[in-house]
Amino acid sequence: MAERSTGAAAAGTTAGAAAGTTAGAGFRAEHGGRGGARGRLADGLRAYRMIAGMWLRSTMAYRASFVMTTLGNFAVTALDFVAILLMFSRVDALGGYSLGEIALLYGLSGTSFGLADLAIGSMDRLGRRVRDGTLDTLLVRPVPVLAQVAADRFALRRLGRVTQGLLVLGYALATLDVHWTVLKVVLLPVMVVSGCAIFGAVFVAGAAFQFAAQDASEVQNAFTYGGTTLLQYPPTVFGKELVRGVTFVLPLAFVNWLPAAYVLERPYPLGLPHWTGFLSPLVALVCCALAGLAWRVGLRSYRSTGS
Amino acid sequence: MGAGRLYAAVAAGGFRRYATYRAATAAGVFTNTVFGLILVYTYLALWDIRPHLGGYDRSQAVTYVWLGQAFLATLAIGGGGAEEELMERIRTGDIATDLHRPADLQLWWLAADVGRATFQLLGRGVVPFVFGALFFPVALPTDPVTWAAFLGAVLLAMLVSFGIRFLVALSAFWLLDGSGVTQIAWLAGVFCSGMLLPLNVFPGALGEVVRALPWASLLQAPADVLMGQARPLGTYALQGAWAVALLAAGRLLQTVATRRVVVQGG
């Protein structure tokens, strides 16, 4: 519920950081366009690997601390599922879904989000970088800024969240009485990968938004941590307007609700046609493209604080 | 008299300091509202199947959700109050400066934290709560006496909350790196305060244990006073006992800890 549940420390940390926004020396973001799109992608991935590897080595210097924070990350995430278990100590079904079915939704959402969080979960630090001016350092390096921001403070301890999601997913698969077909089996990994990409797009779009709203990183938490919490429960629980919003506006429903409806042979939310359960990869692609665009616009509009 | 003015000024400073970050406050309001929405729907699904679960009806369950969102930052249930800075000052040694001030360490930080909590209540708590009350069925009292009793319970909740977090912060004197303790305090806070589910829904002995722990004073106690589920005086007694016990423990630990402080030169 909480790194997350309303980013507990957010107000405290923003209070600690300097927030001087004098419109000082204008500093336009440069877009090095060498080598075309493919070259840039390769550059970005290489940079990401190097920076993440550096953070990985620095984490491993304190192994005991790493083990403890990973366990802590696992425990914090697991509280959500404990809440669901507590609910099911009083009822047999929630929104018409059994515990096993909810565990499937939970496991898929948790694993997808956990992977996205592991890969680029530090994107929400962008606002702080804009405020304290350290973003300027990244702009002068001959490496794509997105890769630098994404790999910043790469934290392997976030594997705790992924592990927890996978365990609940395993529990769901072990207990659920699903009529498995080849298509359903293939759909599971496709869901996890597409879901990870959709959440990744939300992270990038959130970071782009922070170019404009510098100390509003908690808005991002509402969509990332809030989104994964929402998807842990069946769509039948929520009001129609909310379901419409996360299907057509911010298409989180494609992370698990729609494809899982196919796997569980449940009625689709909003009475959507059955083929929508297979749209997740396409939706993920569109989300990533739009988020990439938003990032470019955000970066172009960036003016240094001059501090 | 002079001392009272000093701590009032510290509290006002704590209030103003958080009031400076308007965008962060607005973002927090938004996030609390979104999480409140998600929780309200899940609670309503739960109460549809089991009306009167834990002695609450539907509107009381909804009220409980929005109170939780209003108190999350106010009472720093997941951490994130004055204790973070205090811990950092202990780690870096700046605490030595604080100890030389002609003011009491515990009272100083309590005043700062009460200022912070008051701002968070007004700045981050009220709006999600009003939103919830406008769009969902809530159970709110109409007589001002109950509201006054509720405010009393909130004030005591602030003291208990600070009491817990002051102890967490002082652990840094021994551990230096407080991240492990902070994480455990966060887990305990979220689980035992009833942020996940009202404590009266917890089954059996687990329910009885969590309702007796200090965290029950944070959310469950004021909520039950507001909704007429608990008598104010009995609630005050339990909250007050925990506040006194925790603050006394903090004072004792502070005395032991400050004797250990060695001010390094340079």
Tell me, what's the pLDDT at A13?
Answer: 35
Residue in A92, A115, A303 with CA at minimum distance from that of residue A212: A303
The mean per-residue pLDDT over the stretch B195-219 comes to 94
SS3 A33: coil
Residue range B63-98, pLDDT digits in tens = 999 999 999 999 999 888 888 889 989 888 888 888
Tell me, what's the pLDDT at A176?
Answer: 94
The mean per-residue pLDDT over the stretch B219-244 comes to 96
Tell me, what's the pLDDT at A180?
Answer: 94
Residue range B38-64, pLDDT digits in tens = 999 999 999 999 999 999 999 999 999
Among chain A residues, CA nearest to B136:
A239
Q: What is the CA radius of gyration of chain A?
A: 20
d(CA A189, CA A108): 9
* Residue A214 near residue A131 (C-beta atoms within 8 A): yes
Using a CB-CB cut-off of 8 Å, the residues of chain B touching A80 are 196
Tell me, what's the pLDDT at B263?
Answer: 64
Please name the residues between 147 and 206 in chain A that touch chain B, using a CB distance below 8 Å.
none
Please name the residues between 12 and 31 in chain A that touch chain B, using a CB distance below 8 Å.
12, 14-16, 19
For A142, B200, B201, B213, the CA distances from B209, given in Å and listed in that order, are 58, 11, 13, 7
Tell me, what's the pLDDT at A7?
Answer: 36
Looking at per-residue pLDDT, the higher value among A171 and B175 belongs to A171
Is the Cβ pair A237, B191 closer than 8 Å? no
Judged by a CB distance cut-off of 8 A, whether residue B32 touches chain A is yes
Nearest to A219 among B30, B46, B84 (CB): B30
How is residue A130 written in tokens?
A: 């804009």
Please name the residues between 77 and 136 in chain A that touch chain B, using a CB distance below 8 Å.
79-80, 82-83, 86-87, 89-91, 93-95
Average pLDDT of chain B, as a whole number: 92
Is the Cβ pair B76, A8 closer than 8 Å? yes
Is the Cβ pair B23, A215 closer than 8 Å? yes
Average pLDDT of chain A, as a whole number: 86
Domain ranges of chain B: 3-259
Nearest to A215 among B21, B85, B183 (CB): B21
Using a CB-CB cut-off of 8 Å, the residues of chain A touching B196 are 1, 79-80, 82-83, 86
pTM: 0.88
Q: Residue B25 belongs to what H/E stretch?
A: helix B22-49
Is the Cβ pair B124, A11 closer than 8 Å? yes
Tell me, what's the pLDDT at A26?
Answer: 33
d(CA B10, CA B14): 6
Among chain B residues, CA nearest to A76:
B187
Judged by a CB distance cut-off of 8 A, whether residue B52 touches chain A is no
Q: Is the pLDDT of residue B165 over 90?
A: yes
Residue in A78, A83, A79, A97 with CA at minimum distance from that of residue B203: A83
Residue range A245-263, pLDDT digits in tens = 999 999 999 999 999 999 9
Q: A54-61 contacts: CB < 8 A, separation 24 or more? A: A55/A151, A55/A152, A55/A153, A55/A154, A55/A155, A56/A154, A56/A156, A59/A155, A59/A156, A59/A157
Residue pairs between chains A and B whose CB atoms are closer than 8 Å: 153
Is the Cβ pair A218, B203 closer than 8 Å? no
Tell me, what's the pLDDT at B1?
Answer: 55
Tell me, what's the pLDDT at B262?
Answer: 67
Q: Nearest CA to CA, how far is B74 from chain A (Å)?
A: 11
Tell me, what's the pLDDT at A29?
Answer: 36
Judged by a CB distance cut-off of 8 A, whether residue B186 touches chain A is yes
Residue range B127-141, pLDDT digits in tens = 999 999 999 999 999
Is the Cβ pair A5, B46 closer than 8 Å? no
**Chain A interface disruption, residue of B196, B201, B215, most A CBs within 10 A:** B196
The mean per-residue pLDDT over the stretch B107-116 comes to 95
Residue range A233-247, pLDDT digits in tens = 999 999 999 999 999
Is the Cβ pair B85, A83 closer than 8 Å? no
Tell me, what's the pLDDT at A2?
Answer: 36
pLDDT less than 50: residues of chain A: 1-34
